[in-house]
Chain A
């Protein structure tokens, strides 16, 4: 059974940092391209980042709104993908999902609230 479990969300002040983790199992993580998608409180979905696999040099892509602030990374030995979020803004408040394969497989999401 495919599982993706996001952790690391919480309440953080504007300008601060947070790191999300997505631990996975049940599929061949090392060859999977992994994505982060977020959903605002108004329920709008936004794809924010993707990391390819080793054979594609772990290439990354980001949506413009997070470029230079967010970094996606992965550890194939732990079947995990990460999202380092710096210089957080109130508009980054959302539920963050990791997803893959299609994307058909999604985690349950982790809520990030940016507020003073």
Chain B
């Protein structure tokens, strides 16, 4: 199984900050990497698919990059509604596997 190591697990930031969250796969996942945002009591919401494609309706301050085993989610200027937990998902091969999550908190 492909292991997804997500970092950091916790991130404290302020409104307006630029933040990055990373996921490292244990092998090449060929850019089949999605990013999700989850708020308390809600299902995950897809932000980015296949590394760098923005989901319809998601603000352009969210972006993704990466290749091979290393992937990054960037939020260019944090807004109050962005404080949530973020997960990566590799869907290159079964079983699909998720990162452990990054909880983004207000500093």
Interface residues of A (CB under 8 A from B): 35, 43-47, 50, 61-64, 97, 102-104, 106-109
Q: By the criterion CB–CB under 8 Å, are B43 and A43 in contact?
A: no
Cα A47 to Cα B96 with chains together (Å): 6
Residues of B within 8 Å of A, CB-based: how many? 20
B52 in the interface, Cβ–Cβ < 8 Å? Answer: no
Q: List 8 A-B contacts (CB under 8 A).
A: A45-B98, A47-B95, A47-B96, A62-B95, A97-B44, A103-B46, A104-B49, A108-B43
Distance to closest chain B CB from A9 (angstroms): 14
20 further A-B pairs in the complex, CB-CB below 8 A; given A44-B98, A47-B97, A47-B98: A43-B101, A44-B100, A44-B101, A45-B98, A46-B98, A47-B89, A47-B94, A50-B94, A61-B95, A62-B95, A63-B95, A64-B1, A97-B43, A102-B34, A102-B49, A103-B46, A103-B91, A104-B49, A106-B43, A106-B45
B14 in the interface, Cβ–Cβ < 8 Å? Answer: no
User: What mask results when residues 2 to 13 of chain B are scored 1 for a CB within 8 Å of chain A, else 0?
Assistant: 000000000000
Distance to closest chain A CB from B38 (angstroms): 8
Chain B residues with CB under 8 Å of A47's CB are: 89, 94-98
The 4 closest A-B CB pairs, nearest first, are A106-B43, A47-B96, A45-B98, A63-B95
Number of A-B contacts (CB under 8 A): 43
Distance to closest chain B CB from A52 (angstroms): 11
Which of B89, B95, B100 has the largest number of chain A CB atoms within 10 A? B95
**Nearest B residue to A44, CB-CB:** B100
Q: By the criterion CB–CB under 8 Å, are B98 and A104 in contact?
A: no
